[in-house]
Amino acid sequence: MFSFVAHSEFIRNGFVRDLRRASQSEVVYHRPMRLKIKEMRQERGWTVDVLADKVGMSRSYVSEIENGKKTVNNLRLSKFAEAFGVWPADLIDDGSVDPDIVEHIKLMRRLSPSDREAVLRHALALDRGERPD
């Protein structure tokens, strides 16, 4: 079963074939998609050291991620989300994603896991050129 991050990535980029082949840790979020990690850390009054301890990464690595010098894969994004107590998609700066895509993500959040899976199966069928009922 796909994780919510995978659903979000699928919706955001529409690269179903690549997503199906990638393990969670292989999907990488590149610099153009700004992350709100630094903003969320500062809102909580945490230092980089505190956040680094919570996510199990070095201080310098977290700092490089915050400053856009390092990319983040799904596994790391999930660790940050867990530390902040938010959905992984909440770490994505909405300004870096098309507004329609943001609405799709919000809709997917409201669905049950089985309904999200049904939406994904439907989209995969469309990608294969099938017209599911």
101/9 Cα distance (integer angstroms): 10
Q: Where are the domains of the chain?
A: 4-127
pLDDT above 70 (res 17): no
* CB of 59 closer than 8 Å to CB of 52: yes
Tens digit of each residue's pLDDT (9 = 90 or more) over 72-119 = 888 888 899 999 998 887 887 666 666 777 788 788 888 898 998 888
Region of residue 14 (phi > 0: left; psi between -120 and 50: alpha; otherwise: beta): left
Domain made up of 4-127: CATH architecture: Orthogonal Bundle (1.10)
pLDDT of residue 6: 47
- The predicted model gives 21-26 an average pLDDT of 43
pLDDT at 133: 67
